[in-house]
Structure 1
Amino acid sequence: MENLTKILAGCRRRDRKSQEKLYRQFYPVLFALCRNFFEEKHDILTAINNGMLKVFQNIDQYEPAKGEFFNWTYTTVRNAALTLLRDRKTQTFYYEEISDYMGFESGENPFEQLAAGDIHIYLLQLPVATRRICGLFYLDGFSVREIAEALRISEGTVKWHLSESRVRLRTIFEKSL
């Protein structure tokens, strides 16, 4: 694989071959990221493409002193996926508000001792909305408030999905033992 520095230099010159090399280099990880947000391959690819377009358009704004290029790209694509979710007016998800009888327990991170490949296998067994919120909270480290603001839902709904993900994952983990 070609040196990332050379590829980035080509991308800054708007060289299409360099852009393609960068896209192909990060594609597997970005596909796994966007798969947490969408079920349909078309939607996953749309989110990746929207994010990578922003990366290519704003590549001159990347500052190496602020962090690694991959992290900057990952964040840009994740934000593009969140934007795509918000902009979908016709897409409806079932959200249930949390109420007192449901409870919300803030247990440990259920993914702490799993390998990265295992985590995605388990996450794919969750409903899309629950998977999305679970990934943002446990894998990306967003707070309940940040998730609620990004998805434009109430904090109670986020808490319900987190509680639901723990219940469902507990069942899945017990079956796999």
Structure 2
Amino acid sequence: MSISTKQMPGIIEGCKANRRPEQEALYKFFYADMLKLCYRYLSADELAYEALNTGFLKVYQNIKYYNEHKGELGAWIHSIMVHACIDLARKEARFNNVANTFDVIDEVFVEPSVLEKLYVDDVLLAIRTLPAATQLVFNLAVIDGYSHHDISEQLNISESTSRWHLSAAKKQLRELLQPSNNQVNKPTEKSNKAT
């Protein structure tokens, strides 16, 4: 759906007044991008849709607090969706605090020559195969740029546990994305939903 910058203030005001046409317009405008985000965080389609719907409900309930002078609407909605995904993923994920001694992988975890041959869908599909807790930490750290300190506060885990999950994610993704692995050759129908 195409909404011009001139129409957006009216849609926001309509949502603040709890009018269904404006809520529907806002939903349709942000639906695809927010669904991609939910797919990135949650490995099951049902959970992604649940997070999407929960996130939009929170958007409608809290849009009266949105202030366009503090930031762009898309970024505000993105933040709400990330938190909806975190809340749902936290219920699904099993975090075990790990000792401070673990191997942290600092080198590039996938060779550049391998990356050149991959589709975005391949990478997203590989991320969705990670265990829920590891996937959540990977998305927060690598995709959304949260620090281990922030992740530990969001998920109520230690920073070392966050680092361990990120290291484990990199190791598992490296194994999944190697050219000798036939799991990631072409995007699948399921992975195309996330694009």
TM-score surpassing 0.5? yes
The equivalent of 2:38 in structure 1 is 34
In structure 2, the gaps of 5 or more residues are: 186-195
- The 3 A distance-change label for structure 1 pair 54 and 92 is closer
Number of paired residues? 173
The equivalent of 1:2 in structure 2 is 3
- Match status 1:51 vs 2:51: no
Shift of 1:96: 6.1
The equivalent of 2:150 in structure 1 is 146
The equivalent of 2:104 in structure 1 is 104
Cα distance in 2 for partners of 1:76, 1:123 equals 21
Quick one: higher RCO (CA 8 Å, sep 6+), 1 or 2?
A: 2
In structure 1, the gaps of 5 or more residues are: none
The equivalent of 2:190 in structure 1 is none
CA contact under 8 A between 1:38 and 1:44: conserved in structure 2? yes
The equivalent of 1:79 in structure 2 is 83
Moved over 4 A (4+): 112-118
- The 3 A distance-change label for structure 1 pair 68 and 174 is same
Shift of 1:83: 2.6
Cα distance in 2 for partners of 1:67, 1:36 equals 23
Percent identity of paired positions between Structure 1 and Structure 2 = 30
Q: Report the TM-score when normalising by structure 1.
A: 0.81
CA contact under 8 A between 1:85 and 1:151: conserved in structure 2? no
Query: Which of 132, 143, 168 is 1:128 aligned to?
Result: 132
The equivalent of 2:171 in structure 1 is 167
Q: Report the TM-score when normalising by structure 2.
A: 0.75
Shift of 1:78: 1.0
- CA deviation map 1:94-142 (0-9, x unaligned): 6461452x321334586x9787545413312322221111010001010
